[in-house]
A and B are shown apart, each in its own frame.
Chain A
Amino acid sequence: MSSADAAVSRWMGEDMQKRVASRYAAERRFRFFGFAAVALSVAFLAFLLINMAWKGLGGFTQTEARLMIDFPRSNLMLDPATLRGPQAQESVATAGLDGVLEQAAVAQFGEGGGEMFGGASARALGDQLIADPGLLDRKAELWLPVSSKADIAAKGDGDPAIEKLVAKADTKRLFNSGFLTASDATDPSEVGVWGALKGSFLTILVTMALAFPIGVMAALYLEEYAPRNRWTDMIEVSINNLAAVPSIIFGLLGLAVFLNFMHLPRSAPLVGGLTLALMTMPVIVIAGRNAITSVPPSIRDAALGVGASKMQVVFHHVLPLALPGILTGTIIGMARALGETAPLLMIGMRAFIASPPQGISDPSSVLPVQIFLWSDEVGRGFVEKTSAAIIVLLIFMLLMNGLAIYLRNRFERRW
């Protein structure tokens, strides 16, 4: 066998077949790794969402228990006449309903039965008394919301001692409408997201009112008018860099400039909105520039050709055509601002605020910060409330992102 023969590849030989087979196997392995990476990422997402939903859905319900209260024989000093009067709320609040509840609960469930009901139960009892003052004259069987401890026990995750109590009681689970209409509170069974949601809404409104016009105008200038020189290069570099600066740095900027230098009110949606606007503006500029570049030059040429001024070309033709793209970018930027926590912590939005803000300069909380604050609480009742608030936040994020995708598909034109 000569050396020339050895150099000739024998395509059908066993060696070659083996090598081809192993190369094909490597191909399949590689493909499998790719698939596994995607599958793993999607599995993480699914795990995260299911985990939150599982923990949080309980936060939307509240357990109620049936309690027999013998009003005439309890030592309750409450005049049915005041219940009909204008001071009904105050008289009920000072009547010592907690004691009545405790007495009735001990009578019905035995030793330690008082644990079953808390402050929220007393308030609910007060409301029922105001609605029907006639209750005071008889022995009545009422459905009352149970305390946070008993609520957790009824959902199967509490103290064994209380779980035994709950097992004795006649309970039902209702939708907890208070969670969507109340604000922060110290008792986990009374907390709600409305105050935080309203704060978030006001903050985003301020952000939107500032970042959208400024961002669009900056994008128009940079794309349509700016000459190529050092200044525009600097603007461009700083916009691209600002889009990647950590959000907490914007918080420090807000703290130093808006609070310490300009003395704007702490923890107000105004300051939060200003800070988030600085953060969101670069995102809108970048999205806006992409949308503006994708408008074909022929449209500009046609408008210039019939005598429009440069300004008219931009504001009458380019901007309306680019607007869907700009809006998509804006909504995505707003969604990011809605979920942002760190810069708002820096400007003092971490106080306990029990009433919803009335305006943009009132102290308020926002939903992500509320989640952060609740996650720090020790009470076990806060765990499901935190997850429930996360569900509310995620629903808003999904709605905004869905709207962005819808706008993109519906209005964006391919030229």
Chain B
Amino acid sequence: MSVVDHNAIELPRISEAEVGDYIALLKPRVMSLVIFTALVGLVIAPGHFHPVLAFTSLLCIAVGAGASGALNMALEGDIDALMTRTANRPIPRGRVTRPEAMAFGMTLAFFSVMTLGILVNWYAGALLAFTIFFYVVIYTMWLKRWTAQNIVIGGAAGSLPPVVAWVAATGSLSVEPLLLFLIIFCWTPPHFWALALFRSDDYARAGVPMLPVVAGPDATRLQILLYTIVLVAVAAAPWPLGYFDAIYGVTSLVLGAGMLACAVDVYRRRERAGSLRATRKMFAFSILYLFALFATLLLEEVAHAVAARIG
């Protein structure tokens, strides 16, 4: 017989979390867009970059993004539990505890930054560290619960992956990656506010001061329209400025017309059913927009490389 009464002491919780729960902490869908935009940053960078180093850079950027996602979930477990969209995440479901997610995120952040620094270059490593810091500390811990401009300023973190990739490939900074940064930066507000419009009840319940909760849906619709106009102009600007060519320019204008049409639709449709349809369409199209815009740059670069080989 044991002297200690096992019922009287609290036993440590033994995790039943599976690998899939930890993969969910990485926000795989966000990660896929990060990988894609970083890939474009790598491909359009000048000079030869060894494929092994390119793969290493992409892997580190992807893991760094995953680390940010895990740290974000560790810090937002309370909010996530209150929102329909996020209630199924591993922490609200009780699969992973917040300290476990925090340890997982910190470990991945450390390894991704150090590996990129040691194997590729320290400028890229430092920029990746700054990106993670910006997303976790500036956006998640500070801005998100404090201001309706949270996703505008916080959008900088999501805009940095192509810049990190460019710096990894070249060891320096140039105008082209900053243009990619600007495009994603201007794209983020209309994309997230479209989501916030049809999820505003969720955000209100969780006490997150998203624009539709704080300023109302009409002000948000106007902001979406204004930011979309800026986005279309910013996305097309590299063409007349001579950084990207006419194929990119025309594609950006065609896609921009689609974005503008969605934004005008969101602005005009105020009745419940129509508004819901318009905002959902805007949210979905904005993902397609960014993907297609960056895919154009990627395909052009691949076409140039093939043409150079054949020629």
Partners in one complex: no
- Interface residues in chain A, defined as those with a beta carbon under 8 Å from any beta carbon in chain B: none
